[in-house]
């Protein structure tokens, strides 16, 4: 039996500083540092919440370990962290991960070092909620698969509370210490689905054309990444904000975006290439 996992984390009101969210970093930690300097981020008081996909494609993926060790940096897991994790026991996933920017790991790191990274990534929750002065802000990587945040939170807590019995999942390697999405298939949607983003973008992914969309009723704001919108202010509709501006891609407008969770003002920095 595996130990219970924390799949959801709650952060109390930050009484003394500001809270920010950041889009998919994809190894662009130098761009993140430029953004933090620009906004005067105070690491003694402020907090930063990342929407996942910390690794792959950019120049400094391995630095995600250094950032996660900092007390002011928090992140949900993205599909790229999940690919790294599952590549430990699934050769097809190893190929998929390497095709999607994960090749840096085997080029630069020992198998032991990659496993250490997997262990750290496997601690990342699927959802974070942050209490702000204006209300509750929820963060997931890609999609909210259930109609309200409360139902989603309850579903995550139910999985956390019940130790996973590998006998129920014969398709999954029994000796792996890592969390596998097959333990609850709707978790796959949290990391990969573009349904929420499609609703915000009016059906056209990768274009910024916000339209009317239903609010998440029990959140002040839902902040997601995963679906990139290039060269435009990050699109929002109702109380849903897409903050991945494509730092992981080599193309015009690719940038890393930070959002102030009190005002929803955004700040973007071009992602340097290399
Ligand atoms: Mn993603």
Burial of 120 (0-12, 13-18, 19+ CB in 10 A): middle
CA of 270 from ligand 1 middle (Å) equals 19
Give whole-number Cα distances, 87 to 4, 46, 106, 141, 235, in Å: 21, 34, 11, 19, 33
CA of 18 from ligand 1 middle (Å) equals 26
By the 8 A CB rule, do 226 and 262 touch?
no
Residue 197 lies in a domain: yes
| pLDDT value of residue 274 | 43
CA of 164 from ligand 1 middle (Å) equals 26
User: 226: domain CATH number?
Assistant: 3.60.21.10
Residue 66 lies in a domain: yes
Domain of residue 224 covers 8-270
Q: Please give the tally of structural domains in the chain.
A: 1
Give whole-number Cα distances, 205 to 42, 121, 127, in Å: 35, 28, 23
CA of 143 from ligand 1 middle (Å) equals 10
Q: What is the pLDDT along the chain (274 residues), one digit of tens a residue?
A: 455 678 999 999 999 999 999 999 999 999 999 999 999 999 999 999 999 999 999 999 999 999 999 999 999 999 999 999 999 988 899 999 999 999 999 999 999 999 999 999 999 999 999 999 999 999 999 999 999 999 999 999 988 776 666 666 666 655 677 887 877 879 999 999 999 998 888 755 555 555 568 899 999 999 999 999 988 788 898 999 999 999 999 888 899 999 999 999 999 999 876 4
Catalytic residue among 18, 28, 74, 80: 80
- Within 10 A of 50 (CB to CB), how many other CB atoms are there? 29
Q: CA-to-CA distance for 124 and 49, rounded, in angstroms?
A: 12
Residue 1 lies in a domain: no
CA of 78 from ligand 1 middle (Å) equals 5
| pLDDT value of residue 102 | 96
Residue 120 lies in a domain: yes
Residue 158 lies in a domain: yes
CA of 218 from ligand 1 middle (Å) equals 25
Told to judge if 80 belongs to the known catalytic residues of this protein, a careful annotator would answer yes
CA of 16 from ligand 1 middle (Å) equals 32
CA of 122 from ligand 1 middle (Å) equals 16
Residue 180 lies in a domain: yes
Give whole-number Cα distances, 39 to 242, 257, 267, in Å: 20, 12, 8
């Amino acid at each position: 039996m595996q130990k219970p996992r924390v799949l959801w984390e709650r952060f109390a009101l930050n009484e003394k500083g500001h809270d920010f969210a950041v889009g998919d970093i994809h190894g662009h930690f130098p761009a993140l540092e430029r953004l933090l300097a620009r906004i005067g981020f105070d690491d003694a008081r402020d907090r930063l919440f990342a929407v996942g996909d910390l690794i792959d494609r950019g120049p400094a993926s391995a630095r995600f370990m250094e950032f996660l060790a900092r007390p002011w940096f928090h992140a949900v897991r993205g599909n790229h962290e999940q690919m790294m994790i599952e590549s430990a026991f699934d050769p097809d996933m190893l190929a998929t991960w390497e095709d999607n920017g994960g090749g840096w790991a085997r080029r630069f790191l020992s198998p032991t070092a990659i496993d250490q990274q997997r262990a750290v990534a496997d601690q990342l929750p699927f959802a974070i909620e942050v209490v702000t002065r204006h209300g509750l802000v929820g963060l997931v990587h890609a999609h909210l698969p259930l109609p309200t945040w409360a139902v989603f939170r309850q579903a995550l807590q139910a999985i956390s509370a019940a130790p996973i019995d590998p006998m129920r999942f014969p398709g999954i390697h029994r000796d792996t210490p890592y969390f596998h999405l097959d333990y609850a298939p709707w978790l796959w949607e949290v990391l990969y689905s573009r349904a929420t983003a499609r609703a915000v973008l009016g059906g056209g992914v990768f274009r910024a054309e916000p339209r009317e969309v239903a609010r998440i009723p029990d959140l002040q704001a839902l902040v997601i990444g995963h679906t990139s919108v290039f060269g435009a202010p990050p699109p929002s509709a109702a109380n849903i904000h897409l903050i991945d501006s494509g730092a992981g891609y080599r193309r015009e407008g690719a940038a890393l975006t930070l959002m102030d969770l009190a005002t929803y003002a955004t700040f973007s920095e071009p992602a340097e290439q290399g």
